[in-house]
Amino acid sequence: MSLWYFLIDWFAGVPTFGVLFKRFMINFAWVCIALFVMLVFQLPAEYAAIVYFGFIVVNGVMGFVFLRQRMQMRD
């Protein structure tokens, strides 16, 4: 299975707000784990900032795609 197929499946086809929330929380859990590992290895704060803002961007894209799909389903 290719990475592109995984990303298409992850960002698209979210049927309900509950599934979207679950995906947000899964992303949040991964970010918490990544930040903890970065803390243990004492990596620079710039890397943590990149991970944190990447999390915000990914969840923003998922939310935007979800809202566009909901609008298209109403038409």
Other C-beta atoms within 10 Å of 63: how many? 14
Phi, psi dihedrals of residue 44, rounded to the nearest 5°: -60, 150
* Contacts of residue 20, Cβ cutoff 8 Å, sequence gap at least 6: 14, 62, 63, 66
What is the band of 8 on the pLDDT scale with cuts at 50, 70, 90? low
pTM of the predicted model, to two decimals? Answer: 0.75
d(C-alpha 68, C-alpha 39), whole Å = 37
15-37 per-position pLDDT tens digit? 788 888 888 998 999 999 999 99
Mean of pLDDT over the chain: 85
